[in-house]
Amino acid sequence: MNFISIRWPGDGFFFALALIPIQIKITAPYGRHTRSNWGLMISNRLGWTLMEVVSLIVFAFFFLRGDAEKTTGSWILFALWVAHYIHRSLIFPLRTHTRGKKIPLFIVFSAVFFNTINGFMNGFYLGELQPPTLFADHPRFIVGLVLFLLGAALNLYSDTLLLRLRKPGETGYKIPRNHVFRWVSCPNHLGEIIEWTGFALMAWNLAALSFAVWTAANLIPRALSHHRWYKAQFPDYPKERKAVIPFVL
Ligand SMILES: NC(=O)c1ccc[n+]([C@@H]2O[C@H](COP(=O)([O-])OP(=O)(O)OC[C@H]3O[C@@H](n4cnc5c(N)ncnc54)[C@H](OP(=O)(O)O)[C@@H]3O)[C@@H](O)[C@H]2O)c1
Where do the structural domains in the chain lie, given as residue ranges?
A: 2-168+175-233
102 three-state secondary structure: strand
Which residue has a Cα nearest atom 35 of ligand 1? 162
- 159: CA distance to ligand 1 center in Å? 7
CA-CA-CA-CA torsion for 249, 196, 47, 153, nearest 10 degrees?
A: -80
Pocket of ligand 1 (CB under 6 A): 31-32, 96, 98, 101, 155, 159, 162-163, 165-166, 173-174, 176, 188-189, 192, 215, 218-219, 222
Which residue has a Cα nearest atom 10 of ligand 1? 88
- 10: CA distance to ligand 1 center in Å? 29
pTM score above 0.85: yes
Smallest Cα–Cα separation from 246: which of 103, 238, 38? 238
Average pLDDT, the chain: 92
Cα(241)–Cα(114) distance, rounded to whole angstroms? 31
Locate the DSSP E strands across the chain.
Answer: 41-43, 102-104
Report the nearest atom of ligand 1 relative to the CA of 175.
31
Taking only the tens place, the pLDDT of each residue in 42-82 is: 999 999 999 999 999 999 999 999 999 999 999 999 999 99
Which residue has a Cα nearest atom 32 of ligand 1? 173
All residue ranges of the chain with pLDDT < 50 are 1-6
CB 68 within 8 A of CB 130: yes
Cα(228)–Cα(210) distance, rounded to whole angstroms? 27
